Structure 1
Amino acid sequence: MELLSLKTSSFRIEVSTSPPKSTDIAVYLGKSVTLDCLALGKPPAQISWILPDRSFVREVGTVHTLLSPMSLLQNGTLRIHTPNFSSKGDYKCIASNAAGTDTITYQLHVAALPPSISEGAMHTAIIQPGESAKLSCQATGEPAPKIMWVSPRNDVISMSSDRFQIMGDGMLVLKKVRITDEGKYTCVARNSAGDDVKNMKLEVESQDCSDGFPTTHHQYAGFNHKSQSGITSDVTLCGNWYSQTRYFMDVAWTHNAGST
């Protein structure tokens, strides 16, 4: 802490500043910042600020300026609530009383941090039909990036719906997954500094059965199928999804007489 004193007759002013007399401050876009100017004096020091647009601020409360929302606190601190690129520049605090004046100048730099998604490489999620799929997408950046998803059909998913839900951390939840939901999903994290993307592949499994085919049993008059257990009273239907839109049935049957 630096303590400056100036005495003239019975008057004095003491301006206490934690940072150096001239200092650079870097903040991220949209992140609030406070510029201190703490002054002690007899008589009490009057605090005023000169902003980068050369406007002069002395009254406590909301500061009316085109730069960005800011306010002057009772103790002389200037608070910039949501800095933008026009907020950058020199902020000069002036403390004055009958004994004299003292100043401190801040040079404010405003920067943005492009989004970065923590999981970079594409990976595959395998889900059973009817279950919910959860595709994660955690991103950092300043200002905080907005998350949207692009479906395999190139539809933009930017908000929740009956089947899709975007969580606060960017995770995409697909409810009651269907075979038509298969494909590549792209997460896009975006802010004013840029964007980052992550791809995920969703695969929907078919039901299990011997030889890799799901099996169901239905009774059909006049036909039967000899299963692995030797039962020949029904038809065994084995199906597998070969594409996202067509379902083929491989049917093996035997006639009641036993011929194939």
Structure 2
Amino acid sequence: MAHGSPAVSRRPSFSQEATVPSPSPAPTQPKQGGTAKLLIVEVGQKPNILTRPAGPVKGISGESLSLHCLSEGSPRPRTAWTLPGGSVLERPQLGRKHVLLENGTLVIRDASIHDRGDYVCRAHNDAGESSVTVPVVIVAYAPRITIRPPQAIHTMPGAAVQLHCAALGIPKPEISWELPDHSVLSTDNLGRASGSQLLHPSGTLLIQNPRPSDSGTYKCTAKNHLGTRRIVHKVGSWTELSHGARLIKGKQLCSCF
């Protein structure tokens, strides 16, 4: 540069400029005493009913019947049953006719033919619902007497006699005997009559020490709410012939009834 010449400031060209890196931002330090938040996301699962009958559920008239409806899902499903008549049971309850348990099982007490039909179980939660239809058939029939004694029985004094009377039916039939004096013994109320008769739970009537006064008509009745069957037996007692009595061929020995 010549002496006395003015000073000239030269800016560097683009290619001559130096690149200065920008400083990285300092990490943010958590404030003293701050709390961390944890967010949990729960994915809902639609209910799945685990118990599905392969066919109609058969119940016995007069007995209790359980209909199962076990389910899984998230949140835990709630269970409701729709009865054949249209009424709905939505929460665990204890009724005279129906009991809804915590696990979804519906109990029908003292089932009858009026309880037959389609029962619908619905399991539902916030993710959806699932249902299953359970057809119910109630088995019942009127009594049928299967074992009976002869229509007429002759006894000897002191020799015990058994009168059998067995019956089938659903519900199980009540068997009763009407004695010659019109008193009644029943399998629902077992006990000894005023005479020598005793009734066993099977329906067999035992005449323990027959006397002439035990002769007469005995009526066995088998009964349930679907019907009644009755059979009649006649019991006579033999007596020893008095001294000097004779038997004549072809003649009647005694008239027992």
TM-score norm. by structure 2 comes to 0.68
2:72 to 27, 40, 43: 40
Which residue in 1 is equivalent to 2:254? 242
Q: Specify the alignment match of 1:113 in structure 2.
A: 141
User: Are 2:92 and 1:60 aligned?
Assistant: yes
Secondary structure of 2:120's counterpart equals strand
| 1:19 lines up with 2:53 in the alignment | yes
Residue 205 (str. 1) matches residue 238 (str. 2): yes
Residue 200 (structure 2) pairs with residue 167 (structure 1): yes
Alignment of 1:93-104 (within 5 A): 93-104=121-132
The TM-score, its normalising length taken from structure 1, stands at 0.67
Structure 1 window deviating more from structure 2 (193-202 vs 118-127): it is 118-127
- Contact 2:123–2:130 (CA under 8 A) maintained in structure 1: yes
Distance in 1 separating the partners of 2:57 and 2:179? 42
Instruction: Go from structure 1 to structure 2 and tell me whether the alpha carbon gap of 1:239 and 1:175 turns closer, same or farther (over 3 Å shift).
Output: farther
Aligned equivalent of 2:215: 182
Whole-Å Cα distance in 1 between the matches of residues 234 and 118 of structure 2?
50
Tell me the amino acid that sits aligned with residue 94 of structure 2: T
Q: How many residues align structurally?
A: 204
Letter in 2 for 1:172: L
Larger radius of gyration: 2
| Post-superposition offset of 1:147 | 1.2
SS in 2 for 1:186: strand
Superposed CA RMSD = 2.8
Taking the aligned partners of 2:76 and 2:99, their CA distance within structure 1 comes to 21
Which has a greater percent of strand?
Answer: 1
Shift in CA distance, 106/156, structure 1 to aligned 2, threshold 3 Å? farther
Shift of 1:94: 0.3
Deviations 1:102-149 (A, max 9, x none): 111122233421112222573554432134322111112111111122
